């Protein structure tokens, strides 16, 4: 719905902006995925493509919002430290499991 309104508003210039093209592709992919789910097509590739489209939609949201961008960049920076802590916790659990 949002994309159709944007196409009507920016008709001659809609496809010149890459974010508008990205929105159009993501919305079209979501629509195709919903139609295939309604038709009850059991295909793993279709389900995977639908998940990828949903992730792309979230990426669009994160890339436009300053607070979400700061949150995810902080999470990415701290991911290595969190992984190290998880490895240490697993090692402790295994060590105490043998006692």
With 0.85 as the threshold, say if the pTM is over it. no
Q: How far is CA 36 from CA 26, 28, 50, 55, in A?
A: 15, 12, 10, 18
pLDDT tens for 13-43 read 888 888 788 888 888 887 887 787 787 777 7
Looking at per-residue pLDDT, the higher value among 78 and 43 belongs to 78
pLDDT at 63 over 80: no
Specify the DSSP class assigned to residue 68.
H
Helical ranges in the chain per DSSP H: 2-9, 18-38, 44-64, 66-98
Range of the domain at 44: 2-98
Give pLDDT, residue 19: 79
Q: What is the CATH number of the domain that holds 70?
A: 1.20.120
The count of domains in the chain is 1
């Amino acid at each position: 719905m949002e994309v159709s309104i944007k196409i009507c508003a920016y008709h001659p210039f809609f496809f010149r902006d890459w974010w508008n093209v990205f929105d159009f592709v993501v919305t079209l992919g979501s629509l195709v995925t919903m139609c295939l789910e309604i038709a009850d097509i059991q295909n793993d590739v279709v389900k995977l493509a639908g998940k990828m489209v949903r992730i792309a939609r979230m990426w669009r949201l994160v890339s436009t919002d300053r607070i979400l961008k700061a949150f995810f960049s902080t999470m990415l920076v701290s991911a290595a430290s969190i992984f190290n802590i998880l490895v240490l916790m697993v090692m402790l659990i295994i060590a105490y499991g043998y006692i």
